[in-house]
Amino acid sequence: MPETKLKSGNAGDDTHLRVMDIDGYIIPTFPFQDHEKHFRSMPGWRAREDDIIISAYPKAGTHWLWEVASMLVRHKAERIPEIKETAMMEGLTEETFDNMSSPRVINTHVYFKYLPKDFFDKKCKILYIIRNPKDIAVSFYNHHRKLLEYEFDGAWEDYLKRFIKGKVDYGSWFDYTLEMEKFMEENQDYPIHVLYYEDMKEDSIKEIKRLAGFLNVEASDELVTQINSLCQFDKMKNEKNSGEDLSEWRDNNPGMYRKGQVADWKNWFTVAQNDMFDSIYKEKMSNSKVQVRFSI
């Protein structure tokens, strides 16, 4: 397994992230045998016509969307007993993938070139959720510090520079977002549904109805309301964190669900950090049509 300790490259920062490096592409260290072999074989796996793929950069709301979509396709407002990692492409073996019951609601953070080509040949539906990168940076920082597998205990001010440079698993938020935008521009007939995390927070009922329409799921107002209630952040945090292995987290305190807020970044960014980030964002996203909101 090509495990490595990823440095930030910042002067005076000796911290690292324990990750996997596959030909320069960085992913987490999923704890199962022959992980690299399975990851490399993934483009050849077989899809099903009714597969649904949730695609997102880490900490963009994947857990939330996976719960909502899974309930919609099951036509039931019932808590999904599994955690979303059990349906995470880059953390599966081909055998596990093949044995999942349909319709499979898959989630992933990797670029499309690493996924089964059959997904795209069959034009499986894609749900793409976008979240503002300032909140993602804060959430990813806490994720990296709390999850022991990363062996990370760095300071926020150094981490922000690391995040901007893309020295984290799955690389740069900017590169990922621009790559997704390019895919959509080049494949305008592909069934891909775009959601913004901030829109979900602002009016989740509206967004769940919009999602049900895209998935061709008949969802009554009552079902949508029930799913919305079950998928409120605090309720998911209380119920889903109980399924986490406490030994994997610092101080035995699971941190997959933290705050789920919009604009928590204001509690972390200094004025100078915010000005720096805004300048870099303006430069990197100058030709992008993506319209993220940093507050609501």
Helical segments of the chain, H only: 35-41, 62-74, 94-99, 117-121, 133-146, 156-165, 173-186, 197-202, 204-214, 221-230, 233-240, 271-284
High-pLDDT (> 90) share of the chain, %? 81
Give catalytic status of residue 193 as yes or no. Answer: no
Q: What is the pLDDT of residue 269?
A: 98
Residue 291 placed within a domain: no
Encoded amino acid at 226, one letter: Q
Say which residue the tokens 């989630």 belong to.
107
Q: What is the pLDDT of residues 63-108, one digit of tens each?
A: 999 999 999 999 999 888 888 888 999 999 999 999 999 999 999 9
Q: What is the pLDDT of residue 33?
A: 82
In this prediction, residue 243 has a pLDDT band, given cuts at 50, 70 and 90, of: low
What burial class does residue 158 get, using C-beta atoms within 10 Å of its C-beta: 0-12 exposed, 13-18 middle, 19+ buried? middle
* Nearest Cα to Cα of residue 80 among 61, 91, 67, 89: 67
High-pLDDT (> 70) share of the chain, %? 92
φ, ψ for residue 212 (rounded to 5)?
A: -60, -40
Domain span including residue 113: 43-284
Inter-axis angle of helices 173-186 and 271-284, to 10 degrees? 30
Q: What is the pLDDT of residue 259?
A: 72
Average pLDDT over residues 26-45: 92
Looking at 35, 38, 109, 144, which residue is catalytic?
A: 109
Residue 175 placed within a domain: yes
Residue 84 placed within a domain: yes
Q: What is the pLDDT of residue 235?
A: 72
Report how far residue 149's alpha carbon sits from residue 251's, in angstroms, rounded to the nearest whole number.
Answer: 13
Question: Are residues 159 and 141 in contact, defined by beta-carbon separation less than 8 angstroms?
Answer: yes
Q: What is the pLDDT of residue 198?
A: 97
Q: What CATH code is carried by the domain that includes residue 134?
A: 3.40.50.300
Number of domains in the chain: 1
Which SS3 state, helix, strand or coil, does residue 128 take?
A: strand
The verdict on pTM exceeding 0.85 is yes
Residue 18 placed within a domain: no
What burial class does residue 18 get, using C-beta atoms within 10 Å of its C-beta: 0-12 exposed, 13-18 middle, 19+ buried? middle
φ, ψ for residue 216 (rounded to 5)?
A: 55, 40
Residue 101 placed within a domain: yes
Which SS3 state, helix, strand or coil, does residue 277 take?
A: helix
Using alpha carbons only, what angle is made at residue 65 by residues 71 and 38, rounded to the nearest 5 degrees?
Answer: 95
Residue 263 placed within a domain: yes
Report how far residue 173's alpha carbon sits from residue 88's, in angstroms, rounded to the nearest whole number.
Answer: 19
Using alpha carbons only, what angle is made at residue 15 by residues 12 and 19, rounded to the nearest 5 degrees?
Answer: 145
Q: What is the pLDDT of residues 121-130, one digit of tens each?
A: 999 999 999 9
Residue 52 placed within a domain: yes
* Other beta carbons within 10 Å of 137: 24
Q: Which residues of 203-237 are buried (b: 16+ CB within 10 A; e: fewer)?
A: ebeebbeebbebbeeebeeebbebbbebbebeebb
Residue 6 placed within a domain: no
Residue 6 β-bridge partners? 17
pLDDT beyond 90 at 252: no
Encoded amino acid at 197, one letter: Y
